[in-house]
C-alpha cells in the first residue's frame, strides 16, 4: 500500500491535527491502562521535535452526540502530560471558540488535547460541516488511530479529505505489519482463526481461504465444522444451522488450494469451570453431556509442525476457552511455539483481536511476536479484505 507518511510532511510552523486513540480503560475516573497513550508518544514527539504545534483529537466511549461528563477526556490530561514531560493544553470542546483559543495559545513544539469529538453528533455521521470545523483548526492532518480507521467518521475520514493528510508513526507501523501479513507476505502463509462463533467471522473465513496457503480453525467455531463433517459434538457450543455454510467454506478452501486444519482430537469436560476434570477424546468420542473446550495435544502438535513449515503466521482468536484453566493449554502451547520460531528468525507472526491479545498475554508472549495489533474491529475488517475509510483517505 502506498500512503502518505509523516516523514514526508513539511512541519515547519504548522499546526498538526492528530487523531489518536485515547479510548483507554478507566477506573473511578483515573486511567487504568496507559498503553494507548504510550503508543501515541512517538508521533507526538516527532511532531513537537520539528516545531509543529500539535492538536490531539480523540473520542472516549459512546456519548452519542451529547456532553456526558463521565465521558470527558480531561482525566487523560495529567497522565499524558507526565508521559510527555511537559504540560498539555486543554479545551473543553473540539470546535468553536474554546478549541480555537487553545490552538492559538500554542507555541511551536507545544501540545493541546481537545474534548471528546463524539460529544458532537456530526462526528459519527461524518457531517461535512463538522469535519470542516475541525479542519479549520489546523494546517495538516495526521491519523495515528488505526483502531478507528474502519469508521468513516468526521475525525478519521472527513477531515482527511480537507487537509494534507498523513499516517502517524503508530498507523504506519500497523499498516506495514498488515502488509507483511496479508499484502505481500513471505509464503507459505498459515492462518489461525479461533473464537466461539462462525457467524461473526464468515467474511473473515471466506477471505482467508482465498489468500492463505493453510488455515487452522479452532475454538468453538471448530465445533460447527466438526458437526458439519458428521462428528458428534455432545453438549458443545455449536451453530448447527451453519453446517452447510461450513461445508461451503471447506469447499472454497479446496478450490483455492488452501489446506484446512480442523481438530483431530479435542479436550472435553462436563463443566466449563476452573480445574474441572478434563479428558482428551478422539473425534466422535464425545459423550452427550461433555463439552469440547480446547484443542487436543495431537491437534496442537500438528499445528506446531504447520508453523515450522510456514514463513508467515496470521492469528485471530484462541484455540479454546483460554480464560479457564486447564482449557488454556492448547492456545498457550501454540502461542509459545510461535514466539520461539519468531525469536529464531524462522517465522513472521502477526496477531490481533481482543481475545487474541489477552490470550497472548496469558501465554507470556505478547511482546515476542513480530506484531500484535490491539485495534480489534479495524484489524478484523482488514483481515476480511474490507477497505478501511480512514486508511483509504491516506492513500496517494
* 109 in catalytic set: no
The residue from 51, 65, 109, 354 that is catalytic is 354
Task: Tell me which of 197, 211, 281, 311 is the catalytic residue.
Answer: 197
For residue 154, give the DSSP letter: I
Instruction: Select from 94, 87, 8, 14 the least CA-distant residue to 54.
Output: 14
CA distance 111 to 301: 51
DSSP state of 180: I
Kindly name the residue from 65, 377, 385, 386 that is annotated as catalytic: 377
Residue 367 — φ and ψ, nearest 5°? -95, 0
Tell the residue number behind the cell numbers 461451503, with chain if given. Answer: 248
Grid cell, residue 25, equals 480503560
Q: How many CB atoms lie within 10 A of CB 330?
A: 28
377 a catalytic residue = yes
Rounded distance between C-alpha atoms, residue 391 and residue 395, angstroms: 7
- For the chain, give the number of residues: 396
Residue of 19, 36, 53, 329 with catalytic role: 36
Query: What's the Cα-to-Cα distance from 222 to each of 42, 201, 377, 379, rounded to whole Å?
Result: 40, 12, 21, 21
DSSP H or E segment with residue 56? strand 53-57
DSSP 90-112: EESSSSHHHHHHHHHTPPTT-EE
Is residue 353 annotated as part of the catalytic site, yes or no? Answer: no
197 annotated active-site: yes
CA-to-CA dists, residue 30 to 25, 157, 161, angstroms = 9, 30, 35
Residues taking part in catalysis:
36, 197, 354, 377
Amino acid at each position: 500500500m502506498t500512503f502518505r507518511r509523516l516523514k514526508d510532511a513539511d512541519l515547519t510552523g504548522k499546526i498538526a491535527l492528530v487523531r489518536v486513540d485515547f479510548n483507554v480503560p478507566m477506573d473511578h475516573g483515573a486511567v487504568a491502562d496507559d498503553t494507548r497513550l504510550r503508543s501515541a508518544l512517538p508521533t507526538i514527539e516527532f511532531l513537537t521535535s520539528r516545531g509543529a504545534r500539535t492538536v490531539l483529537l480523540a473520542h472516549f466511549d459512546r456519548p452519542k452526540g451529547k456532553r456526558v461528563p463521565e465521558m470527558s477526556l480531561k482525566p487523560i490530561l495529567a497522565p499524558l502530560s507526565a508521559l510527555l514531560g511537559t504540560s498539555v493544553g486543554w479545551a473543553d470542546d473540539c470546535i468553536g471558540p474554546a478549541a480555537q483559543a487553545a490552538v492559538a495559545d500554542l507555541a511551536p513544539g507545544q501540545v493541546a488535547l481537545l474534548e471528546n469529538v463524539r460529544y458532537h453528533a456530526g462526528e459519527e455521521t461524518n457531517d461535512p460541516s463538522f469535519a470542516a470545523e475541525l479542519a479549520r483548526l489546523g494546517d495538516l492532518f495526521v491519523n495515528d488511530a488505526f483502531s478507528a480507521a474502519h469508521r468513516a467518521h468526521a475525525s478519521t475520514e472527513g477531515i482527511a479529505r480537507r487537509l494534507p493528510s498523513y499516517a502517524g508513526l503508530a498507523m504506519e507501523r500497523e499498516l506495514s505489519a498488515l502488509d507483511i501479513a496479508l499484502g505481500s507476505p513471505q509464503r507459505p502463509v498459515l492462518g489461525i482463526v479461533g473464537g466461539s462463533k462462525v457467524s461473526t467471522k464468515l467474511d473473515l473465513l471466506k477471505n482467508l481461504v482465498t489468500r492463505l496457503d493453510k488455515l487452522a480453525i479452532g475454538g468453538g467455531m471448530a465445533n460447527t465444522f466438526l458437526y458439519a463433517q458428521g462428528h458428534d459434538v455432545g453438549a458443545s457450543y455449536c451453530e448447527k444451522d451453519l453446517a452447510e455454510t461450513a461445508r461451503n467454506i471447506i469447499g472454497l478452501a479446496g478450490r483455492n488450494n488452501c489446506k484446512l486444519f480442523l481438530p483431530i482430537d479435542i479436550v472435553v469436560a462436563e463443566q466449563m469451570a476452573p480445574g474441572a476434570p478434563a479428558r482428551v477424546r478422539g473425534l466422535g468420542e464425545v459423550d452427550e453431556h461433555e463439552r469440547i473446550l480446547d484443542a487436543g495435544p495431537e491437534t496442537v502438535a500438528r499445528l506446531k509442525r504447520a508453523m515450522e513449515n510456514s514463513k508467515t503466521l496470521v492469528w485471530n482468536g484462541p484455540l479454546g476457552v483460554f480464560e479457564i484453566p486447564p482449557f488454556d493449554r492448547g492456545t498457550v502451547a501454540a502461542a509459545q511455539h510461535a514466539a520461539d520460531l519468531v525469536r529464531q528468525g524462522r517465522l513472521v507472526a502477526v496477531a490481533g483481536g481482543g481475545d487474541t491479545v489477552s490470550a497472548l498475554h496469558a501465554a507470556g508472549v505478547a511482546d515476542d511476536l513480530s506484531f500484535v495489533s490491539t485495534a480489534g474491529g479495524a484489524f478484523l475488517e482488514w483481515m476480511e479484505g474490507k477497505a478501511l475509510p480512514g486508511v483509504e483517505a491516506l492513500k496517494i
